[in-house]
Structure 1
Amino acid sequence: MVYDKASDVVRMEITPATPLLSPSPGQYYFLYQPFRLTGWESHPFTIGAWSYELGDKPLSSPTSAGNLNDSLDVSHVPLLAGGPAEADYQRNWTSDQARKSDPLKLKMIFWVRPYDGWTRKLRQQCLRSPDSTTETTVLLEGPYGDTFPLWRYESVLIIVGGTGIASAVPYIQDHLRRSDEGWEENPENEKTRVRDIELVWTTKQAAFIHDVSRRELKPALERSDFSASFYATRDSSAYEDLNNCGYEIQEGRPHLQSLIMSRACDASSADSSLAILVCGPVGMADEARAATHLAMRQGHRSIKFVEESFTW
């Protein structure tokens, strides 16, 4: 666990004890921390991203040119270890980077916003260390939730707030994976139909945007079929430094009605389908839902509205 004071987020990287987990977009888990007086206390968290390691080394993934990157791009890694997709993937590795005797090790990433109770104690555990980093044992219950087939729509708009970015990143990475040339080698894989995907993310701290953009969102930000609009409601003094990183962070909140109406008009003009995925505060979800309803009333019918909300 690492606590970043600038973004006010605890980044949890969990290595499951079981190799049977197969993460997918739309999934969430309940996390427990044992050996506490309130050990029964659990919280639902969306899995924000995942990666694989071979033994103790991070997996390298081939680029379209057949070379190898220094870091793992999860968009090229099979979700289910041990299946035919993994066998095809292993044949592309160089002999010194992959040994069939070493199992794939899954690493799951969660973003936790500390509030009261257990999440605040997680932050305190991190702050006891000089580098705000600590290790602990947690229990995973899940996965829960279903994967919505965003890949079946020509245009995708993802609107998220705060740590709701956790619901967006897996779908974005899934799009990258399905866009890869080798994805269709397995006849069971469905190729993406998405022509353009747009992310609109509003959060309090600009530093949180910067951290995720240089990690999980970096491969998508380098593509022509992906665009992102970032908004921060605090830390205006940080905008100048972070805006030199190749993307712009705007102050305040987006006007969702104008945004959704514009995307609905574009989809109608192109005679294409539009999927709108929303995950964030209640007010944001309500505004997006009302704007989508207005667009459909005005004749833009090829719209699918999907709201991610996690409860028992």
Structure 2
Amino acid sequence: MKLTRLATALAAGVLAVGVVAAAQAANPVTIVTVVKVTGINWFNRMDEGVKEFAKDNPGVTAYQTGPGQADAAQQLKIIEDLVAKKVDALAVVPYDPPTLEPVLKKAMDRGIKVVTHEADNEKNTMVDIEAFDNTAYGANLNEHLASCMHDEGKWAVLVGSLGSRSQVQWADGGINNAKAKYSKMDLVEPKLETNNDGERAYEVAKEVLRKHPDLKGFQGSSSLDVIGIGRAVEEAGLQGKICVYGTGLPGEAGKFLESGAVNGISFWDPKLAGIAMNKIALMLVHGQTVHDGDNLGIPGYTKVTVSKGPGKGIIVRGQGWVDVDKSNYKNYSF
């Protein structure tokens, strides 16, 4: 009798799994990640996370897209097309958050779930996920820079775009940290735009060095800022004379860390951010949300903090940043 009951229970379990699988097949979920720009290593790495999420979640179609160059209008057009197709969820890394407000509102009005990243000023989002507190991250970069500069001298700040909310917060976090703690640090060039382009960052850095031959430090924001700065510093033979810290990826910045043209970089793993955005998007599709203290099961997002956003949504923050220099950057394979 017990064996019969066990067999019946097992059969019921198999049937239930089959019903769930059939339901997922009949009602597949489509989540599209829209990044600032395609083809750069930062978002190539994020795409790895999106693909891994899709592989690990049968019944979910997840893929990444974005404009071929960093351009708010092009990103807007891509999202408009996805809204017209009525995908189930959008995971967006806005190039310029205010530009996307109308289209993201339209998406939510049509029942599309919206998650954003690097955009804690976005009003029309359900969840904005940040890898960490952006102001603290910028202040941390500045602490490293100040130590290298011996707390004094001229310095400059680069950002990929003044419309990129997180990059401006990192820059301001560094600037305000220096104002509060290092009176002998002289900010001569605040928040110069580089268009999230390494070649442009190189040209901007060269001009800063020409204009301020006694410059002592750079703080970069875009992952490509340190690449352009490092190139300009090497070209001028100023390794060891100018301090350079900023957001970057080990695979890109490694050669400049080795040469001394860049002193240190900080980052979070875009792959993990891609997974986190898609996981939250799927939760929203299933009628769930994120709560303070939740463990998303993703490194750097194991005990998130949740606060109210500027609109009706929430801001979720992890603890995901990493600092590296010449001594340990090889420990990271991307």
Normalising by structure 2, we get a TM-score of: 0.26
- Larger strand proportion, structure 1 or 2? 1
Normalising by structure 1, we get a TM-score of: 0.27
